[in-house]
């Protein structure tokens, strides 16, 4: 059977009891609603400040804990090898690349020296192995990344080479002057 339609004979109660609203009053109500909605959104955003994410859905989910970097993760970032024969520019590039890889792979401070020294080859590897024999394994790998960089800079960037580069930079002139 088909549905039956009913026709109302009386006017809706809502239209009979309706109040008139001016444009200014309507605009005020809209502004209040927008302000309340923005305040609610900002409140949700501020709960997001503790590294939990809710993406505006009011359903809180916790951020996954960062996984500790493994040597395999480190190698996937393709670290540059350092031989110790290339000079200041190569050491600088190697150090910068290592720092970038440490950041990308979430490498902990405890693993930085261990992983970085695995990229040493040739003369640099011989120097590192000698250092490990002198100061014992735990002390060598227990040093900070900054200490390793300082030691390598002292070893592979002789003062005269650094001064020569500084003079070269000072003597550079801007084209067109």
Instruction: Give the mean pLDDT of 34-52.
Output: 67
Return the bridge partners of 82, or none: 120
H or E element at residue 77: none
DSSP state of 80: P
Entry pTM: 0.55
- The pair of structure tokens assigned to 60 is 């809180």
**27-41, 56-70, 107-121: least confidently modelled range:** 56-70
DSSP state of 52: E
Domains of the chain, residue spans: 71-171
CA separation for the pair 97, 85 (Å, rounded): 18
Strand, helix or coil at 53? strand
Give the position of tokens 């801007």: 174
pLDDT, tens only, 3-31: 777 666 655 555 556 678 788 888 888 88
């Amino acid at each position: 059977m088909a549905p039956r339609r009913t026709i109302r004979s009386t006017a809706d109660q809502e239209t009979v009891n309706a109040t008139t609203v001016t444009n200014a009053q309507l605009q005020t109500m809209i502004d209040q609603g927008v302000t309340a909605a923005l305040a609610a959104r900002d409140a949700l955003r501020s709960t997001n400040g503790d590294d939990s994410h809710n993406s505006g859905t009011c359903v809180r989910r916790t951020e996954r804990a960062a996984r500790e970097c493994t040597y395999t993760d480190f190698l996937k970032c393709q670290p540059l090898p350092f031989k110790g024969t290339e000079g200041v520019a190569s050491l600088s590039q190697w150090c910068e690349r290592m720092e970038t890889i440490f950041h990308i792979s979430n490498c902990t401070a405890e693993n930085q020296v261990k992983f970085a020294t695995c990229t040493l080859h040739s003369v640099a590897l011989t120097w590192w192995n000698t250092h490990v024999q002198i100061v014992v394994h735990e002390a060598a790998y227990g040093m900070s990344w900054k200490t390793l960089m300082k030691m390598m800079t002292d070893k592979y960037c002789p003062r005269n080479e650094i001064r020569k580069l500084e003079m070269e930079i000072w003597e550079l002139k801007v084209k067109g002057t």
